């Protein structure tokens, strides 16, 4: 018999209060690192909060599979989506959803774009975009909402260009992304039962128009590569193609936006780190990873055990779900020295912000390149950065980001 924990770490509103959330994570890591959660709003699962246990699950993708449950969605939303034929298993099939061998086959379609050489070719474009948005801060007189005006747009502008989507459509992509990935936030959701379904359908229709164009007239853009991708020598199905473009155009920017906003707040709150990076910009080569560790944009993913096993000394039965809480793992005191300090150049840095194992984030190098480009440009052209209002985090237990980060900077 499972004894559920009384410590709540999944109510979305908690994620707008990082201090309280981290205190609860710390208690679970110490006392119950693998614990049964039977929350009234969600189907039950095992919460896994310790770094070592999450690594074990992630690196054993034959025992712990992605299907059928990838993220925490309220039972009411799951039931409503199923009633209208919009359950995840019927409506989307991204490389994040896939298990082996399909995952590796589909991942290969775009892999060269995200390896070292592919990202190196994109570096000049990324630097131009970073400069453009630091110029915008200057045009605003040094006062802006860094989350809304800068962090939201830099990665989105980059991915729109890489995919070959018109930049003027970026506001539509941003709105759709926020509704899909932070659907629990009352400022972003349209219908608590649909959980982003309306935006999902609109985005699929939008992307389908481009797929048809790219298949008739291929281009050199990543979007066209996906639209014309082959798996086992045959064209990808339309569902897989649209899902591929969906994940590239949404997760391809939202997680990096989150890292940029959260990284900016960390530097403001820890001025010694900011001073260190001003004195030695070369530290960004490793500090970009520290941003991802510290922010942990993706808060969780679920896996399902295919047979009875043991995790962290706890019996997990076949068919039971385990939820990996990366934000907790990246503050694990047994892995990271002074985990609540933002440390420029932290090495080693075995964070799980990009996951680990077979599903290690495909866009990792691109995200790190964008973080380096923006922060190097920003710190080189400013002499002071401070808060100009109260930061606001999204109420989301899946992808977390700052909704608002008012700042005032002094330009050089």
Which residue range is the domain that position 72 belongs to? 12-411
Q: What is the CATH number of the domain that holds 376?
A: 1.10.630.10
pLDDT of 337-377, one tens digit each?
999 999 999 999 999 999 999 999 999 999 999 999 999 99
Query: Are 301 and 71 in contact, with CB atoms under 8 Å apart?
Result: yes
* pTM reported for the whole predicted model: 0.95
In a domain, 1, yes or no: no
In a domain, 382, yes or no: yes
pLDDT bracket for residue 170 (50, 70, 90): very high
In a domain, 244, yes or no: yes
pLDDT bracket for residue 190 (50, 70, 90): low
Count of structural domains, the chain: 1
Place of tokens 């050199």: 220
In a domain, 392, yes or no: yes
In a domain, 5, yes or no: no
In a domain, 2, yes or no: no
User: For position 173, what pLDDT does the model report?
Assistant: 92
pLDDT of 77-103, one tens digit each?
888 777 766 556 667 899 999 999 999
User: For position 193, what pLDDT does the model report?
Assistant: 46
Q: For residues 61 and 199, which has the higher predicted lDDT (pLDDT)?
A: 61
In a domain, 6, yes or no: no
* 196 pLDDT above the threshold of 60: no
In a domain, 37, yes or no: yes
Place of tokens 């459509």: 169
Query: Stretch 141-168: mean pLDDT, rounded?
Result: 97
Average pLDDT, the chain: 93
């Amino acid at each position: 018999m499972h004894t559920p924990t009384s410590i709540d770490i999944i109510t979305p509103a908690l994620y707008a209060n990082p201090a309280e959330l981290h205190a609860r994570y710390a208690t679970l890591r110490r006392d119950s690192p693998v614990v049964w959660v039977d929350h009234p709003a969600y189907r039950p699962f095992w919460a896994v909060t310790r770094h070592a246990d999450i690594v074990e699950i992630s690196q054993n993708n034959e025992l712990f599979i992605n299907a059928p449950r990838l993220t925490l969605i309220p039972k009411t939303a799951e039931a409503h989506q199923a009633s209208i034929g919009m359950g995840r298993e019927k409506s989307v099939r991204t490389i994040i959803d896939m298990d082996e061998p399909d995952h590796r086959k589909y991942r290969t379609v775009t892999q060269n774009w995200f390896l070292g050489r592919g990202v190196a070719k994109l570096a000049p474009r990324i630097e131009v975009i970073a400069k453009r948005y630091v110029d915008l801060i200057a045009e605003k007189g040094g006062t802006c909402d860094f989350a809304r005006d800068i962090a939201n747009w830099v990665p989105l502008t980059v991915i729109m260009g890489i995919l070959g989507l018109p930049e003027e459509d970026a506001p539509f992509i941003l709105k759709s992304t926020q509704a899909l990935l932070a659907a629990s936030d009352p400022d972003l959701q349209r219908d608590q039962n649909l959980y982003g379904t309306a935006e999902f359908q609109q985005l699929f229709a939008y992307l389908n128009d481009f797929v048809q164009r790219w298949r008739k007239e291929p281009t050199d853009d990543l979007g066209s590569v996906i639209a014309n991708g082959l798996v086992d020598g045959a064209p990808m199905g339309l569902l897989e193609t649209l899902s591929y473009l969906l994940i590239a155009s949404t997760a391809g920017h939202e997680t990096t936006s989150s890292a940029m906003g959260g990284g900016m707040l960390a530097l403001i709150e820890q001025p010694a780190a900011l001073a260190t990076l001003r004195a030695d910009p070369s530290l960004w080569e490793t500090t970009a990873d520290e941003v991802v560790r510290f922010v942990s944009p993706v808060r969780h993913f679920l896996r399902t055990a295919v047979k009875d096993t043991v995790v962290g000394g706890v019996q997990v039965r076949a068919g039971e779900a385990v939820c990996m809480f990366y934000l907790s793992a990246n503050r694990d005191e047994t892995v990271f020295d002074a985990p609540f300090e933002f440390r420029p150049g932290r090495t080693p840095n075995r964070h799980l912000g990009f996951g680990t194992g077979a599903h290690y984030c495909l866009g990792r190098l691109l995200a790190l390149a964008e973080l380096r480009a923006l922060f190097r440009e920003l710190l080189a052209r400013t002499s002071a950065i401070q808060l100009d209002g109260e930061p606001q985090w999204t109420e989301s237990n899946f992808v977390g980001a700052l909704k608002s980060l008012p700042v005032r900077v002094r330009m050089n």
